[in-house]
Structure 1
Amino acid sequence: MRLLLHPGHAKCGSTSIQRAIIRNRPGLADNQVVVPDPHLRLPGEAGFHPRGETPREFFRQIMENGGDTTSLRARLESWRESLLWRDATFVISAENLINHLMGPIGEGIHRVLAEHFDDVEVVYYIRRQDDYLLSAWQQWGFKEGKTFAEYSQEALRRANPHYLAVGQAFGRLYGAASVTVRPLQAEALRGGELLTDFFSHLVEDPSTLSFDRDRSNLSLNPFFCEILAGYKGLFRDIHDDRLKQRLARTLGVGHELFQRERDFMDPEMARRIMAHHREENLHLQQQFFPHVPFEAVFGDREEEELDPGERVRMSRQRAEQLQKHVIRELLELLQSMPETAKTPA
């Protein structure tokens, strides 16, 4: 049996890959590529969910149960006994498979996976750290009441994200030759694109599959996130997406509240983040993708240099503009609602 393991990293294209895996489950099965359901059941098994998500929840429960892998072993043993999928490639994608990786719980899960497959390929995608930190802050950090500057300084103190350590840990668990690390940079990806790169590990011609390349993990506008950071009480926890979902339903995902803002990050902040990780990135590039020029992945961006005071002024102006637009549209929405709907119960 062969396993293609995609263990995350979060904010590195995982949602796009998982959506495409689920969308193409039947076509992949025709090519003897099996995508198990959330409970690690296979097509043809009783209870198999053909539209089920990837098995993040299955692995989360193992981790919360102290690393008891009994259920995982039972599932993998049933895979080995399956006559239908004996020569198949199995695909497991779950971001939480990098959790506890340096400790006994994570290592125990991966030891079980390694011992049940004849061949394992680990495909691990990363993105430059300034991009990653901005995206992670837009997903989680602002809900803790942290500005982007505060969030990134804390991340630098913790040396987060730990790409090199994760890549090397997988090398120890599955063998260095089994680990592929790909930066989310066109120069490093087959076909210059994430989904083409990923599925080329599974099928000869990825163009035969169906891909939805719309934005898969919508983020709020970073200027709006800065505003919301001052209202920590709005969120139950960092995973609370109710506000984002309501705004998307009400205003539409094309609204400027979901707009990417190229000029949000101060170039000096980006340089500081990348300089902090430079030594690690050099080792990462040399060990895992020496064919890709270092500067193409981790080099300085070409940005228009502005006086720091001018950049602050422009940022405040953009934030104020966004606030005015949002307030106006919400007022217009209230005005358009029926009177009964506007009156408190």
Structure 2
Amino acid sequence: MIQNSFAANEDWLAERGIAYGKVLAPDANHITLFFACAEKIHDFARVYGLNTPAEVAEFRSRLSRRIEEHKASLPEHVTTMVMSSENLLGNLRTQAEIRSLKSFLSQHFDDIEIVLYVRRQDDALISMYGEFMRRGFSDETFDQFIKTCAGPDSPVPYLYYRRELSKWISVWGKEKMVVRRFSPVDFIQGDILADFMGVVQRTWTPDMEGFKPSPEPNLGLSAPALEFLRRLHPAIPFVKNGKPNEQRSKLTPFINALPKQPRPVMAAATARRIMDPFQNANRWLKNEFNPTLEGAFFPARADHPEFGNLGQLTLEDSIELTGQLLANVEIVPK
């Protein structure tokens, strides 16, 4: 929501001295910063045609030039540039990579702040599971996914906030980090866009008049659609024969158009199983960034039902979802 909305309000932002960075990314997610600073070449980068260290180095140079070109094109009164990508905390896993990002950005900007919205781990895990199924990264059930995420090769290391943020603090300094709880009860005006604008404008009463939120809500797929895609995974995984799967790429827009309702819901016992191991780390999070907060940083919730709906797929669901995919796929005879 933040990324698409900021990208769609370029003139509005410019009137207020703000620019949304142009960093050779095809969409509003500034994932290219991750490509330029990662120690290893991620599969996402290979989709962009970055396959060797030399290609990444050349891309880093092009990215640097693009940032300078964008800065040079801005009016003098535009003094703040916003960049946004969840892939930075999610994929820059070592202090060396974080230092690389700091070195890269410090060439272009005098004062840099890192803004992070932290989400309760049970909500974040169900959201990430949906992304894994949508993109074709895995065929694990949700219970299997939870076990994987608790292991040494967790695909969601950023949920271990104490461990990961400690690395960022050591590189950037705690004073340069703004940590906000991802919760409507905490958002300024109850809205994530107003909240982030308040951070950017350094005010609790941000100017939002005339700002037009993106009409594209970042809403994941329905629970039946996730189970449908999980079962399809062996046929159309994201990676095939060691390379990004072209078939999956072609299907992506049609997969994204699958139903969004009913929403995925986990059972209360599953939520407790996820949250309990994070109690000490979340206590650290509160003490470091919100010591005056009453109660736990992520308090217990009563809105999880006794039974969830993950992993359920009826025959009718399968027929309907298959029909939606096939209705949009162009079949070319061989």
Q: TM-score range by the shorter chain?
A: 0.7 to 0.9
Q: TM-score, normalised by structure 2?
A: 0.73
Asked if the contact 1:126–1:181 (Cα under 8 Å) also holds between the matched residues in 2, the reply is: yes
Q: Residue 56 in 1 paired to residue 31 in 2? A: yes
Q: Distance in 2 between matches of 1:230 and 1:237?
A: 14
| Residue from 208, 211, 214 that aligns with 2:210 | 208
| Residue from 21, 26, 35 that aligns with 2:11 | 26
Q: Deviations over 1:116-154 (max 9, x none)?
A: 533222111121111111111111158311000000111
Specify the alignment match of 2:49 in structure 1: none
Asked if the contact 1:124–1:167 (Cα under 8 Å) also holds between the matched residues in 2, the reply is: no
Q: Deviations over 1:284-327 (max 9, x none)?
A: 122112344444x5222214764xxxx48x878x632xx31442
Q: Residue 93 in 1 paired to residue 107 in 2? A: no
Q: Deviations over 1:48-99 (max 9, x none)?
A: xxx9645423541453438755556556666787784476111111233233
Displacement of 1:113: 2.1
Q: Residue 150 in 1 paired to residue 144 in 2? A: yes
Could you tell which deviates more after superposition, 159-168 or 176-185? 159-168
Asked if the contact 1:156–1:276 (Cα under 8 Å) also holds between the matched residues in 2, the reply is: no
Specify the alignment match of 2:226 in structure 1: 225
| Change in 2 beyond 3 A, CA 1:244/1:267 | farther
Q: TM-score, normalised by structure 1?
A: 0.71
Q: Residue 173 in 1 paired to residue 147 in 2? A: no
Asked if the contact 2:139–2:230 (Cα under 8 Å) also holds between the matched residues in 1, the reply is: yes
| Residue from 258, 261, 265 that aligns with 2:260 | 258
Identity %: 22
Q: Distance in 1 between matches of 2:4 and 2:32?
A: 16
| Change in 2 beyond 3 A, CA 1:219/1:180 | same
Q: Distance in 2 between matches of 1:150 and 1:21?
A: 36
Q: Residue 102 in 1 paired to residue 98 in 2? A: no
Q: Distance in 1 between matches of 2:150 and 2:17?
A: 43
Asked if the contact 2:116–2:178 (Cα under 8 Å) also holds between the matched residues in 1, the reply is: yes
Q: Distance in 1 between matches of 2:234 and 2:256?
A: 20
Q: Distance in 1 between matches of 2:262 and 2:102?
A: 37
Asked if the contact 1:148–1:226 (Cα under 8 Å) also holds between the matched residues in 2, the reply is: no
Asked if the contact 1:79–1:85 (Cα under 8 Å) also holds between the matched residues in 2, the reply is: no
Asked if the contact 1:196–1:207 (Cα under 8 Å) also holds between the matched residues in 2, the reply is: no
Q: Distance in 2 between matches of 1:104 and 1:304?
A: 39
Displacement of 1:234: 3.1
| Change in 2 beyond 3 A, CA 1:102/1:325 | closer
Could you tell which deviates more after superposition, 16-25 or 151-160? 151-160
Displacement of 1:271: 0.1
**Higher alpha-carbon Rg:** 1
Specify the alignment match of 1:287 in structure 2: 288
SS in structure 2 opposite 1:109?
helix
| Residue from 184, 196, 217 that aligns with 1:198 | 196
Q: Distance in 2 between matches of 1:343 and 1:38?
A: 36
SS in structure 2 opposite 1:233?
coil
| Change in 2 beyond 3 A, CA 1:135/1:25 | same
Q: Distance in 1 between matches of 2:167 and 2:12?
A: 33
* CA-atom RMSD in angstroms: 3.8
SS in structure 1 opposite 2:212?
coil
Q: Residue 246 in 1 paired to residue 254 in 2? A: yes
**Residue-pair matches, total:** 299
What amino acid sits opposite 2:83 in the alignment? I
Q: Distance in 2 between matches of 1:293 and 1:123?
A: 22
Displacement of 1:225: 1.9
Q: Distance in 2 between matches of 1:101 and 1:195?
A: 27
Displacement of 1:186: 2.0
